[in-house]
Copies of this chain bind each other. A is one copy, B any other.
Amino acid sequence: MNTTASHLISVAAKQFAEKGYSGASMRSIANAAGTTQAAIYHHFSNKNALYLAVLARHFDAKSSDMADDLAQVSDPEKRLKILVHRLLELVEEDEQFRQLYFRELLETDEERLRVLADNVFGELAVTLTELLKELAPRMDSHLMLLSLGGLVCHHLEARKLSPFLPGGKRKHQQLDVLAEHITELLLHGVQRS
C-alpha cells in the first residue's frame, strides 16, 4: 500500500474533521504532511477525491468484534450494557469518526449520504441492527439503531458543551457515567417504579 498516500489521508482526515471540507485547504494539508500542495495531485486527482478517500478509510472496518463479545453473554440486560459500553468506547476513541459523521449528516449531497450509509453503516449497522432486534424485539429496529447512535454520538460530542449547560458537572464527562445513564435509559426508561 502506498505509504505517502496513506499518510496524506491521515493528515487530511484530521483537518477535514476539525475544519470541514471548505475550511481545510490543500496547502494546509500539504504543510502538515510535510510536503507541497502540488504533490498531493500525484496521489489524488483533486480535493474531492482526497476527501472521499478519507471517508472510505474512516467509515470502514469499524464493525469490531462486538458481536463475538456479546455472544458469550446470555442475560439480555448484561448484553445491552456491554453493547453500550463497547459502542461508547469505539466512538470515543475515534474523534475523527464522530466529527466526520456529523459533518456528513449536514451534507445534502445524496450520493455522499449513500456512501456514508454503505461504508460506515454497512457492516456495523447491520451487526447493530441484528443485536437490537434481539435485545429490543418490541421496538422498531431501524429507529432503535438511530436512537442508539444518536445517544452515543450526541453525548460524546456534547461533552464540550456540557459544562455550560444547567447541572453540568465534572462527573458527566466520565465515560462510565455516560454508559450507565444510556444503559439505564434504554433498559427501563425514565419511570422504573
**Interface set of A (CB-CB < 8 Å, partner B):** 18-23, 76-77, 80, 99, 102-103, 105-106, 108, 110, 113-114, 116-118, 121, 125-126, 129, 135-136, 138-147, 149-151, 153-155, 157-158, 160-162, 164-169, 172, 177-178, 181-182, 184-192
Cβ-defined contact, B113 with A142, below 8 A:
no
Using known A-B contacts A103-B106, A181-B147, determine if residue A117 contacts B161 with beta carbons closer than 8 Å.
Answer: yes
| Most B CB within 10 A of own CB, among A121, A140, A172 | A140
Besides the contacts A105-B161, A146-B155, what 7 more A-B pairs have beta carbons closer than 8 Å?
A22-B22, A126-B166, A138-B192, A139-B190, A143-B181, A145-B167, A153-B154
Cβ-defined contact, A142 with B164, below 8 A:
no
CB distance from A102 to the nearest CB of B (A): 6
List, in ascending order, chain B residues with CB within 8 A of A118's CB. 164
Q: How many copies does the complex hold?
A: 2
**Cβ-neighbour of A151 out of B145, B147, B178 (below 8 A):** B147
List, in ascending order, chain B residues with CB within 8 A of A19's CB. 22
CB distance from A50 to the nearest CB of B (A): 17
State the majority secondary structure of interface residues on A: helix
List, in ascending order, chain B residues with CB within 8 A of A146's CB. 154-155, 158, 162, 165
CB distance from A172 to the nearest CB of B (A): 6
**Cβ-neighbour of A161 out of B80, B113, B167, B178 (below 8 A):** B113
Using known A-B contacts A117-B161, A161-B117, determine if residue A149 contacts B154 with beta carbons closer than 8 Å.
Answer: yes
Closest to A76 in B: B191
Across the A-B interface, the 9 shortest Cβ-Cβ residue pairs: A150-B154, A117-B164, A136-B190, A142-B167, A189-B189, A22-B23, A188-B189, A143-B181, A22-B22
Closest to A154 in B: B150
Cβ-defined contact, A165 with B142, below 8 A:
yes
Cβ-defined contact, B117 with A165, below 8 A:
yes
